Amino acid sequence: MNTEIRKVDFLIIGSGIAGLSYALKVASFGKVCMITKSDQDESNTKYAQGGIAAVTYQPDSFEKHIHDTLVAGDGLCVEEVVKMVIAEAPERIKDLIEWGARFDKNKSGDFDLGKEGGHSENRILHHKDNTGWEIERALIEQVHSHPNIEILDHHFAVEIITEHHQGKYINSSSPEINCFGVYVLNTRTGLTEAILAKTTLMASGGAGNVYASTTNPKIATGDGVAMVYRAKGRVADMEFIQFHPTALYEPGVQPAFLITEALRGDGAVLRSAAGEQFMLRYDERGSLAPRDIVARAIDNELKVSGADCVYLDCTQIDETRLKNHFPNILAKCLSIGINPNTDFIPVVPACHYMCGGISVDEYGRSSIKNLMAAGECARTGLHGGNRLASNSLLEALVYSERASNYAIAQINSISFAENIPEWDIKGTADPEEMVLITQSLKEIQAIMSNYVGIVRSNVRLQRALDRLQILHRETENMYRRTTLSTSLCELRNLILVGYLIIKAARLRKESRGLHYSIDYPRPGETLLRTGSLETS
């Protein structure tokens, strides 16, 4: 075994809200190493706009937040998990505030609570329209000031280390697989090293880039889910991909700029090009219906009318309120010649959030020993078939705290693994491969967007699977003969995540939550194969 191998007590993959908050919880109990593949603050967290849901004042109550979460989840949430997360929310908000995150208050000094689709009360704490940026700022500042935490940025986790790397045969039914750490590619030097850890937290976020249009930044490539699946860990609920109804319509611009649902909470309404408030035809909650319903309705309107986008009408929101509460959205719109005080904002749905992921229990433990997961890469049971808006930052905080308690309690009883080989260097750099990687990325995004989007069918899913299998074969060949690179690893991970989404979607023989198939219409709805929806 290489004597130079780095050894840490707590290893964390990812520096979003899940990874950072976990680091702060465990740091007094051992040596912490956080690896993150890009700049330290680059994450989905940084771009969160609307805020974080928690019950703070009456007339709101835990019961109402639980009810709204269960309704949005379309009968697939794990009710015990929902109750637990919502009950622990106020304590986790206190943590965030103690770490220095600032939330907007009104003139009376109470939190200025926002509202989003599917919420029956105003319960969303926010910092203007850039809540995630504020949370990420505060947490990174805290992490920097802790002597036990080392952050390795521009380090890419390639594979988690298990018995497999010690040359032991494991199959899916093996009673126990252990996580001993990860192989990490330093993207500045091109060198790959093993980092051994007593416990590892996967906090690698979402996978929005598996679709052609997403609100997620480039880092969201499903690496954690792919690594865990390859290591024979369990994943679940992958068919439930959330499309945000209102991404700014700006063809060719990636990531798509989000137009927060909080604007609809403040009175903005969706309109067709002809000015009709079409959402009222689909749901009595209109523009504030849960996201799956709104995104599907927009998709349908676009297919039926042939239009490129629908519009968000914010003109009835007071000008000063727009300026003070949504300054970033206002600035972005003005920068492209749209004045939301007078003009409608063109919007389209875009891939936004992965509800499924690595299966974890109530302590964030995955099916692989000493590997936990929290945040968007984890499937906890909170979201069921469709996540309620602003419940994900909350879920990440609650599960990171629970995982930290478990890890702290175990840490002294875990030893480092031995006989871990160095990364098997293979392949040669070939510039030609770069072109193939870029093209293959576009192909997978096209396959997923065309056949596995908001509205699916058996035929579309089969077609997607057939095409993905070709891409998979080609990419695995390339992986075997080429020098390791982030772009190739990400492509490989996206193909695997795409496969998991398709596989789960094919297994679900019904329309539920975010998974909608024209072959299994919901009772009371007739979905025409042209894509037009009639409700009865």
| Tokens 């599917």 -> residue | 118
Which residues lie below 8 Å from residue 457, measured CB to CB, with a gap of 6+? 517, 518, 519
Contact pattern from residue 365 through residue 404 relative to ligand FAD, giving x for each residue in contact according to CB under 6 A and a dash for the rest: ----------xx-------------xxxx--x--------
Nearest to 157 by CA among 110, 200, 113: 200
Q: Is 290 in the site for ligand FAD (CB under 6 A)?
A: no
Binding site for ligand SIN (CB under 6 A): 49-50, 116, 260-262, 389-390, 392
Q: What is the DSSP letter of 375?
A: G
Q: Is 240 in the site for ligand FAD (CB under 6 A)?
A: no
291 is annotated as an active-site residue: yes
Q: Output the residue with the shortest Cβ distance to ligand SIN.
A: 50
CA–CA gap between residue 387 and residue 245 (Å, rounded) = 13
Using the contact rule CB under 6 A, the part of the chain among 44-52, 270-278, 405-413, 509-517 near ligand FAD is 44-52
Task: Please report how the helices 392-410 and 17-26 are oriented relative to each other, as an axis angle in degrees rounded to 10.
Answer: 30
Contact pattern from residue 214 through residue 233 relative to ligand FAD, giving x for each residue in contact according to CB under 6 A and a dash for the rest: -xx--xx--x----------
Q: Choose the one of ligand SIN, ligand FAD, none that binds residue 261, judging by a C-beta under 5 to 8 angstroms depending on kind.
A: ligand SIN
Q: Helix (H, G, I), strand (E, B), or coil: what is residue 533?
A: strand
Query: In 10 A of CB 467, how many CB atoms?
Result: 18
Which residues lie below 8 Å from residue 145, measured CB to CB, with a gap of 6+? none
CB-based contact 73:118 (threshold 8 Å)? no
Q: Choose the one of ligand SIN, ligand FAD, none that binds residue 447, judging by a C-beta under 5 to 8 angstroms depending on kind.
A: none
Maximum Cα–Cα distance for the chain, whole Å? 70
- Amino acid identity of 438? T
CA–CA gap between residue 416 and residue 420 (Å, rounded) = 10
| Tokens 């520096």 -> residue | 15
Interface residue with ligand FAD among 200, 204, 359, 475 (CB under 6 A) is 204
CA–CA gap between residue 152 and residue 243 (Å, rounded) = 32
Contact pattern from residue 256 through residue 285 relative to ligand FAD, giving x for each residue in contact according to CB under 6 A and a dash for the rest: --x---------------------------
Q: Choose the one of ligand FAD, ligand SIN, none that binds residue 38, judging by a C-beta under 5 to 8 angstroms depending on kind.
A: ligand FAD
Catalytic residue of the set 92, 123, 264, 291:
291
The nearer residue to ligand FAD, 38 or 457, going by C-beta atoms, is 38
Least distance from ligand FAD to the Cβ atom of residue 281, Å: 27
Q: Which residues are known catalytic residues? A: 291
Give the binding site for ligand FAD (CB under 6 A): 13-19, 35-38, 42-45, 47-52, 131-132, 156-157, 203-206, 215-216, 219-220, 223, 258, 353, 375-376, 390-393, 396
